[in-house]
Amino acid sequence: MTETFDSFALVAIYSAMGVYLIAFVFFTLDLAKRSADAHAHAAAPVSVGQNAAAASRGTIATLEREAPASSAAPPRRIERAALALTALAWVLHVAGAVLRGLADGHVPWSNMFEFSLVSSAIAVGVFLFLQFWQDLRFLGTYISGFALIVLGVGTVNFYVPVTPLPPALQSYWLIIHVFVATLGTAFFAVGAGLSIVQLLQARREADRVSRLRFLGTMPKAEKLENLAYRVIVVGFVFWTFTLIAGSIWAFHAWGRYWGWDTKEVWTFIIWVLFAGYIHARATRGWRGSRSAWLAIVGFGAVAFNYTIVNLFFKGLHVYSGL
Among residues 199, 215, 187, the alpha carbon closest in space to that of 127 is found at 187
Strands of 150-259, DSSP E:
none
Rounded to the nearest whole angstrom, what is the least distance from the CB of residue 78 to other proteins in the complex? 30
DSSP per residue over 45-89, as a string? SS-HHHHHHHHHHS-TTPPPPP-HHHHHSPP-HHHHHHHHHHHHH
Rounded to the nearest whole angstrom, what is the least distance from the CB of residue 259 to other proteins in the complex? 5
Give me the residues that bind other proteins (CB under 8 A), please: 2, 60-61, 160-168, 170-171, 173, 226, 229-230, 233, 236-237, 240-241, 244, 247-248, 251-262, 265-266, 268-269, 272-273, 275-276, 279-287, 294, 301, 309, 313-316
Residues 185/306, Cβ–Cβ less than 8 Å: yes
Instruction: Give whichever of 157 and 163 is closer to other proteins, judged by the CB atom.
Output: 163
Which amino acid makes up residue 320? S
Q: What is the CA radius of gyration of the chain?
A: 21
Burial of 45 (0-12, 13-18, 19+ CB in 10 A): exposed
Instruction: Give whichever of 146 and 159 is closer to other proteins, judged by the CB atom.
Output: 159
Residues 233/206, Cβ–Cβ less than 8 Å: no
Rounded to the nearest whole angstrom, what is the least distance from the CB of residue 166 to other proteins in the complex? 7
Instruction: Give whichever of 78 and 273 is closer to other proteins, judged by the CB atom.
Output: 273
Rounded to the nearest whole angstrom, what is the least distance from the CB of residue 149 to other proteins in the complex? 24
Residues 239/274, Cβ–Cβ less than 8 Å: yes
Instruction: Give whichever of 18 and 259 is closer to other proteins, judged by the CB atom.
Output: 259
Instruction: Give whichever of 79 and 261 is closer to other proteins, judged by the CB atom.
Output: 261
d(CA 128, CA 138): 12
Rounded to the nearest whole angstrom, what is the least distance from the CB of residue 37 to other proteins in the complex? 28
Residues 99/8, Cβ–Cβ less than 8 Å: yes
Instruction: Give whichever of 211 and 284 is closer to other proteins, judged by the CB atom.
Output: 284
